[in-house]
């Protein structure tokens, strides 16, 4: 149960920092931490063997999403 509280505290810190941060590039870092926290919370709260699979799927999907957003924000792929 202590691990869940630690993950929740880290997630809360990331939410506060993402809300208060002015620089959009730095906000992405805190949003990524929140994604880690959600994946960790899934594993810690759900007492089932498939919870790890669900957390891994969520983590991979959210990482791909945040990478796509960051790439778009940075200017995307340069062609030609």
Q: What pLDDT shows up at residue 12?
A: 92
2-27 core/surface letters (b: 16 or more CB in 10 A; e: else): eeeeebeeebeebeebbeeeeeeeeb
CA distance 61 to 30: 17
pLDDT at 24: 78
- Per-residue pLDDT of the chain (80 residues), as tens digits, is 898 899 889 999 999 998 998 887 788 888 888 888 888 888 888 888 888 888 888 888 888 887 777 777 777 666 65
> What are the residue boundaries of the structural domains of the chain, listed by start?
2-74
What pLDDT does residue 60 have?
87
């Amino acid at each position: 149960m202590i691990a869940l509280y630690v993950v929740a505290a880290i997630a809360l810190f990331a939410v506060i920092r993402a809300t208060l941060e002015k620089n959009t590039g730095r906000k992405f870092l805190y949003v990524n931490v929140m994604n880690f926290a959600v994946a960790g919370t899934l594993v810690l709260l759900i007492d089932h063997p498939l919870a790890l699979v669900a957390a891994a799927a969520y983590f991979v999907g959210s990482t791909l999403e945040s990478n796509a957003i960051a790439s778009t924000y940075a200017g995307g792929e340069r062609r030609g």
